[in-house]
Chain A
Amino acid sequence: MKLSIERVSKQYRGKVWALRDFTLDLRPGVLGLLGPNGAGKTTLMSILATITRATQGRVLWNDTDLAENPDAIRAVLGYLPQDFGVYPNLNAVEFLEYLAAVKGLDAAASRRRIDELLNLVNLADVRKRPLGGYSGGMKQRIGIAQALLNDPQLLIVDEPTAGLDPEERVRFRNLLSELSGERIIILSTHIVSDVEATATDIALISSGTLVAHATPEELLRQVEGKVWEQVVPSDQLTAAKQKYLISGTTRRSDGVHIRVLASAAPNGAQPLAPTLEDAYLYCLTAHRAGAAA
Chain B
Amino acid sequence: MTSTRVLYHLVRADFLERVRRYSFLVTLAMAVYLGYGCFTGKVVARLDDYRGVYNSAWLGSLMTLVATVFLSLVGFYVVKNTIQRDQETRVGKILATTPMTKSFYTVAKMISNFAVLAAMVAVMALVALLMQALKAEDPNLDLWALLSPFVIFALPAMAFTGAMAVLFETLPVLRGGAGNVIYFFVWTALLAAPVASLDKGATVSRAAYFSDFTGIVSIMGQMQQDLHKIDPHYTHGSALTIGDTQTTRKFLWTGLRGSPALYLSRVTCVLLAVGLALLASLFFHRFDPAREWFSRKARKEREPAVANGEPVVTFTSPPQAAAHLTPLQRSQNAASLPRLVLAELKLMLKGHRWWWYAVAAGLFVASLVSPLEATHGGIAIVALLWPVLLWSQMGTREARFGTASLIFSSEGSLWRQLPAVWLAGVVVAAVTNGGLGIRLMAARDGHALTAWIACTLFVPSLALALGIWSGTSKTFEAVYTVWWYVGVANHMPGMDFLGTTAESARPAMFLMMAAALVVASYLGRRAKLAYA
Query: Chain A residues in contact with chain B, CB under 8 A?
Result: 46, 49-53, 66-67, 70-71, 74-75, 77, 79, 81, 83-90, 94, 97-107, 109-110, 112-113, 116-117, 119-120, 122, 125-126, 129-130, 132-135, 138, 146, 148, 150-151, 165, 167-168, 175, 179
Contacts and interface: CB of A to CB of B under 8 A. Distances in A.
Given A74-B410, A117-B325, A94 B346 contact: yes
Q: Chain A CB within 10 Å — which of B295, B325, B409, B532 has the most?
A: B409
Nearest to A99: B406
Contacts of B301: 129-130, 133
Given A52-B530, A99-B406, A168-B316, A86 B401 contact: yes
B411 A151 contact: no
A148 to B, nearest CB: 7
B422 to A, nearest CB: 15
B412 A133 contact: no
B411 A103 contact: yes
Contacts of A50: 408-409, 530-531
B315 A125 contact: yes
Interface stretch (B36-44, B156-164, B330-338, B435-443): B330-338
Contacts of B351: 88-89
23 contacts: A52-B530, A67-B531, A75-B411, A77-B409, A79-B409, A85-B401, A86-B402, A86-B403, A98-B347, A102-B416, A104-B334, A104-B410, A106-B332, A109-B328, A119-B324, A120-B324, A122-B318, A126-B315, A130-B298, A133-B301, A133-B302, A148-B325, A151-B325
A117 to B, nearest CB: 7
B335 A107 contact: yes
Contacts of B333: 75, 103-106, 150
A105 B335 contact: yes
B335 A97 contact: no
A67 B529 CA distance: 12
Nearest to B312: A125
A135 B297 CA distance: 14
B424 to A, nearest CB: 12
A150 B315 CA distance: 25
Contact of A71 (B294, B326, B412): B412
Indicate the size class of the contact surface on chain B. Answer: 35 or more
Contacts of A125: 314-315, 317
Contacts of B327: 151
Contacts of A83: 402, 405
A85 B343 CA distance: 18
Contacts of A101: 335, 339-340, 342-343
A81 B314 contact: no
Contact of A104 (B326, B402, B412): B412
B2 interface: no
B339 A107 contact: yes
A126 B314 contact: yes
Q: Chain A CB within 10 Å — which of B297, B408, B413, B530 has the most?
A: B530
Contact of A53 (B294, B324, B530): B530
A51 B401 contact: no
B408 A51 contact: yes
Contacts of A97: 343
Nearest to B400: A85
B530 A51 contact: yes
B290 interface: no
B350 interface: yes
Nearest to A49: B409
B350 A116 contact: no
Given A79-B406, A101-B335, A151-B328, A71 B411 contact: yes
A165 B316 CA distance: 10
B403 A89 contact: no
B411 to A, nearest CB: 4
A19 B401 CA distance: 28
B446 interface: no
Contacts of A66: 531
B316 A88 contact: no
A79 B405 contact: yes
A116 B406 contact: no
A273 B256 CA distance: 87
B299 interface: yes
Given A98-B343, A103-B410, A88 B294 contact: yes
Given A53-B531, A107-B339, A90 B410 contact: no
B405 A51 contact: yes
Contact of B403 (A84, A103, A168): A84
B271 interface: no
Given A109-B328, A122-B318, 7 more contacts: A50-B409, A86-B401, A87-B347, A105-B332, A106-B335, A130-B301, A150-B328
Contacts of A100: 335
B334 A106 contact: yes
